[in-house]
């Protein structure tokens, strides 16, 4: 077991009540490393989606702006643009060739989130989709750095819309949401300081602001310039995350660890550094893996190149996430299906991934215990 059930010591029994069939699936090697993919027979349920949907699980790497669908973008355009987007035009924005193109598409979406009502709409629709997939908790990145740098406006009024949606989601859907204020690394430390200090300032009034992170283009800025800001955020009681090793080598992951990141987004390139793999396994650093995201941005060229299965087999604390589901034509349920159908994960493996997501969350211990017990009893 991958460091599971620190809070509840249980032995998971195989899921019952499903007919099974034999199928041939890839056992993938890591991005650019290891041996060629091999094929192994595995046992899968006839109706894996039912089991996946019933798994109580958390999503830990999800960008609010990346949940805005073309249909919602058309609605937002109608609120703000003199000439409203057509649906085909909105869909065209979601097509791009590489990571740089993705960043431009993401920017186009954020430009249409201009008011508290816009953020409330985006957050509520996100919550509805999450609840429909069996997600019971999500820790959502919000691109506060983009608001400050591109929009040049204050964030607090916009945040009130998100909070309205969060409270409604908890009341009506039983879904809890935490917010992670995300800075853009290539905007520089001064801009990140504004984001992190705003999170610290607002947290006493809004405990749902749980942490901070840095996203953006690693190829332009590493983690080291943010060391002092991470220490300051930790002192303020904020939890620390970082996108790391998505578009650069293992040095990006080492850098994030060195400044105190507790949880790592993507971490694709760890597979190329055996020492780093050992550290991640020993310390059980949670990894927020996003398979469809990495394929759509070209960070991984083929599904069989993704290190998901090798990380899992090596004992790393792996979680599955959708990142920007509207932009990547995926969602968390689909990521679990990919794990089962392309990476030979059994139902018990999927249960373990769901357990990892709860353990790796920033939820209080008692809430983790409650969800893990539900996972244990699921058949």
Q: Which residues are catalytic?
A: 246
First-to-last CA distance in the chain? 19
State the SS3 of the chain.
CCCCCCCCCCCCCCCCCCCEEEEEEEECCCCCCCCCCEEEEEEEECCHHHHHHHCCEEEEEEEHHHHCCHHHHHHHHHHHCCCCCCHHHHHHCCCCCCHHHHHHHHHHHHCCCCCHHHHHHHHHHHHHHHHHCCEEEEEEEECHHHHHHHHCCCCHHHHHHHHHHHHHHHHHHCCEEEEEEEEEHHHCHHHHHHHHHHHHHHCCCCCCEEEEEEECCCCCCCCHHHHHHHHHHHHCCCEEEEEECCCCCHHHHHHHHHCCCCEEEECHHHHHCHHHHHHHHHHCCCEEECHHHHHHCCCCCCHHHCCHHHHHHCCCCEEECCECHHHHCCCHHHHHHHHHHHHCCCHHHHHHHHHHHHHCCCCCHHHHHHHHHHHHHCC
Question: 371: alpha, beta or left, given left = phi > 0 and alpha = psi -120 to 50?
Answer: alpha
Left (φ > 0), alpha (ψ -120 to 50) or beta: where does 207 sit?
A: alpha
């Amino acid at each position: 077991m991958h460091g599971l059930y620190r809070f509840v010591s249980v032995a998971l029994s195989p899921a019952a009540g499903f007919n099974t069939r034999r199928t041939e699936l890839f056992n993938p090697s890591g991005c650019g490393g290891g041996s060629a993919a091999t094929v192994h027979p595995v046992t899968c349920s006839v109706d894996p989606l039912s089991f996946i949907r019933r798994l109580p699980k958390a999503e830990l790497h999800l960008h609010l702006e990346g949940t805005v669908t073309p249909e919602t973008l058309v609605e937002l355009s109608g609120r703000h643009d003199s000439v409203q987007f057509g649906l085909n035009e909105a869909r065209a924005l979601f097509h791009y060739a590489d990571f740089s193109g993705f960043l431009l598409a993401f920017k186009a979406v954020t430009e249409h989130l201009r008011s508290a009502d816009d953020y409330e709409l985006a957050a509520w629709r996100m919550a509805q989709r999450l609840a429909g997939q069996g997600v019971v908790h999500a820790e959502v990145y919000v691109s506060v750095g983009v608001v400050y740098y591109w929009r040049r406006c204050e964030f607090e009024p916009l945040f009130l819309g998100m909070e309205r949606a969060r409270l409604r989601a908890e009341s009506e859907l039983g879904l809890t949401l935490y917010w992670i204020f995300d800075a853009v690394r290539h905007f520089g430390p001064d801009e990140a300081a504004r984001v992190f200090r705003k999170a610290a300032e607002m947290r006493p009034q809004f405990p749902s602001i749980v942490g901070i992170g840095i996203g953006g283009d690693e190829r332009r800025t590493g983690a080291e310039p943010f060391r002092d800001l991470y220490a300051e955020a930790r002192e303020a009681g904020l939890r620390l995350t970082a996108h790391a090793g998505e578009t650069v080598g293992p040095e990006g992951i080492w850098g994030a660890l060195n400044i105190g990141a507790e949880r790592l987004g993507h971490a694709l390139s760890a597979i190329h550094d055996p020492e780093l793999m050992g550290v991640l396994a020993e310390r059980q650093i949670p990894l927020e893996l996003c398979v469809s995201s990495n394929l759509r941005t070209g960070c991984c060229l083929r599904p069989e190149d993704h290190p998901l299965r090798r990380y899992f087999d090596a004992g790393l604390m792996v979680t599955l996430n959708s990142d920007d589901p509207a932009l990547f034509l995926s969602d968390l349920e689909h990521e679990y299906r990919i794990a089962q159908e392309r990476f030979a994960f059994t139902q018990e493996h999927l249960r373990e991934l769901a357990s990892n997501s709860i353990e790796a969350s920033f939820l209080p211990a008692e809430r983790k215990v409650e969800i893990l017990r539900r996972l244990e009893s699921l058949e």
